[in-house]
């Protein structure tokens, strides 16, 4: 009985090996997962203290650090896989993607620069497209950006307007308003402008419907070349009924079959007004790791524009984030929300009013990290749920630290999920506050956007955020990555008891 031939020639085999995309360099994501696992199991196994085990591990680590050994191990895996396939008479589909759709946001996060060009309703512009309606640049590495914010009805005629443009040069933010031909300035801290540039990535992914909620809804439907690059085409179909009328939309993604990088996005719609035909409504081209023009981030007013203020008089905005309201009166804010790669959330709260005679500083100043919050604060701060209703993750809230700035007190709460979860570039949560101040119980629900950070970023993002909201500009000394990891594991272990 003859065996099935797996490859017609040597070139097919080389192409197969190339598509395996073997990387001998350490992967940050994998390393983070391993470190969390090691820390969580450190106190659970006595064998870890054995000198014989340590000796064997050191020897094994030395062997595996050799690049030659890594390549040999990879070759063994390939050969074993080929033998198994051959024995069972199988074949290898060389057209199968070497990436997963969930890898696409990660490739964007790892890019140093991003250039995004978007066209509104390109079907009305004829076969030759003009200049893009939105032309955005994000320099992630240096925290600079030039992004567009489009609002309908903002033009002088009230029938639509041109996009506002925000330019960050690393120190100043210049808002360009083409509808009234005026610019205004704000002076930003390093933390603020880097946070803005980082969040722009999450907002972009939201705009093209590539989020943790939608990733699993995409299906590969074909292939096409874009500028000589082989791309897989992925499709997401959505159908909804409103007042008896059916609206259908679809998103198309072109992803490089070799690198897994996103190249293009299209949005389509079909309804009664389109006579049942698909109509292209939005098109975006994405370029990763490109060289930014030298003057693209300059905060110089366009010719003919007036200035509302100057750089010398530019205010530094207070970090406020999501504002909290009760009875249409502002009661405080959630300045920033940070999520670690296992789903643990660190959120700051600032409250203006608790209850008559309540001294918030007195309530929290004596709390130890990991302590339960007093009831007066627990009702307001402790309910956090994922915005995606399909996500059944629940969170346990504990005190982490507090800071003070300009008479305001900021409580930093750590939320530990009941299960370790994978996070994308940005995740959204719903924070519910139950107000027990006077009269009938009231509650408010606010959507908050989390900035997802890796272990190596912890010091900058967490310490900088706390320093931003502290009179002395310094984070509490006990808030370190190692301490937060240990605290998280201790709290999670106590949840199981």
Query: What whole-number percentage of the chain has pLDDT above 90?
Result: 30
Determine the Cα–Cα distance for residues 175 and 301; give it in Å rounded to an integer: 9
Higher local confidence (pLDDT), 360 or 145: 145
Q: Which residues pair with 255 in a beta bridge?
A: 232, 262
Evaluate if residue 441 carries a pLDDT over 60: no
Domains present along the chain, CATH in parentheses: 10-94 (no CATH), 103-288 (2.50.20), 322-496 (2.60.40)
pLDDT at 14 exceeding the cut of 80: no
The pLDDT, as a whole number, for residue 328 is 72
Classify residue 380 as exposed, middle or buried by CB count within 10 Å of its CB (0-12, 13-18, 19+). buried
pLDDT tens for each residue of 272-292? 787 888 888 889 999 999 999
pLDDT in tens, 199-209: 788 788 888 88
Instruction: Check pLDDT > 50 for residue 213.
Output: yes
pTM: 0.66
User: Over the stretch 231-253, which tens digit does the pLDDT of each residue have?
Assistant: 999 999 988 877 777 889 999 99
Which of the residue ranges 316-320, 336-340, 435-439 would you say has the lowest mean pLDDT?
435-439
């Amino acid at each position: 009985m003859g065996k099935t031939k797996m490859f017609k020639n040597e070139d097919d085999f080389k192409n197969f090996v190339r598509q395996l995309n073997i990387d001998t360099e350490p992967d940050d994501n994998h390393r983070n997962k391993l470190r969390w696992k090691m820390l969580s199991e450190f106190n659970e196994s006595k064998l870890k203290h054995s000198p014989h085990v340590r000796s064997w591990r050191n020897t094994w680590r030395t062997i595996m650090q050799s690049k030659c050994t890594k390549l040999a191990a990879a070759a063994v895996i390939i050969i074993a896989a080929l033998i198994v396939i051959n024995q069972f008479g199988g074949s290898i589909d060389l057209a199968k993607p070497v990436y997963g759709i969930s890898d696409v946001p990660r490739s964007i996060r790892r890019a140093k620069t991003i250039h995004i060009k978007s066209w509104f309703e390109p079907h009305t512009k004829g076969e030759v497209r003009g200049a893009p309606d939105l032309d955005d640049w994000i320099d992630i590495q240096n925290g600079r950006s030039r992004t567009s914010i489009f609002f309908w009805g903002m033009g002088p005629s009230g029938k639509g307007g041109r996009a506002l443009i925000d330019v960050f040069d690393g120190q100043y933010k210049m808002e360009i308003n083409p509808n009234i031909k005026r610019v205004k300035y704000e002076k930003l801290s390093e933390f603020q402008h880097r946070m803005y540039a980082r969040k722009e990535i999450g907002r972009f992914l939201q705009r093209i419907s590539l989020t943790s909620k939608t990733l699993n809804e995409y299906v590969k439907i074909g292939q096409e070349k874009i500028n000589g690059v082989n791309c897989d085409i992925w499709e997401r179909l959505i159908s909804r009924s409103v007042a008896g009328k059916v609206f259908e939309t679809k998103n198309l993604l072109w992803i490089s079959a070799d690198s897994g990088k996103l190249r293009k996005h299209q949005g389509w719609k079909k309804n009664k007004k389109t006579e049942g035909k698909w109509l292209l409504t939005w098109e975006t081209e994405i370029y990763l790791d490109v060289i930014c023009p030298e003057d693209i981030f300059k905060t110089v007013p366009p010719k003919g524009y007036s200035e509302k203020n100057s750089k010398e008089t530019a205010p530094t905005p207070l970090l406020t984030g999501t504002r909290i309201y009760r009875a249409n009166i502002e009661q405080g804010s959630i300045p920033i929300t940070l999520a670690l790669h296992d789903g643990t959330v660190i959120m700051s709260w600032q409250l203006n009013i608790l209850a008559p005679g309540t001294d918030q500083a007195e309530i929290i100043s004596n709390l130890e990290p990991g302590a339960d919050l007093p009831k007066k604060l627990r009702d307001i701060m402790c309910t956090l749920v994922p915005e995606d209703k399909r996500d059944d993750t629940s969170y346990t809230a504990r005190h982490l630290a507090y800071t003070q700035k300009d008479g305001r007190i900021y409580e930093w709460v750590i939320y530990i999920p009941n299960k370790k979860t994978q996070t994308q570039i940005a995740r959204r949560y719903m924070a519910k506050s139950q107000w027990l101040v006077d009269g009938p119980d009231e509650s408010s629900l606010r959507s908050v956007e989390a900035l997802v950070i890796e272990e190596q970023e912890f010091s900058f993002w967490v310490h900088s955020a706390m320093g931003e909201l502290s009179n002395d500009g310094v984070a509490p000394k006990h808030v370190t990555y190692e301490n937060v990891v240990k605290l998280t594991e201790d709290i999670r272990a106590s949840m199981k008891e």
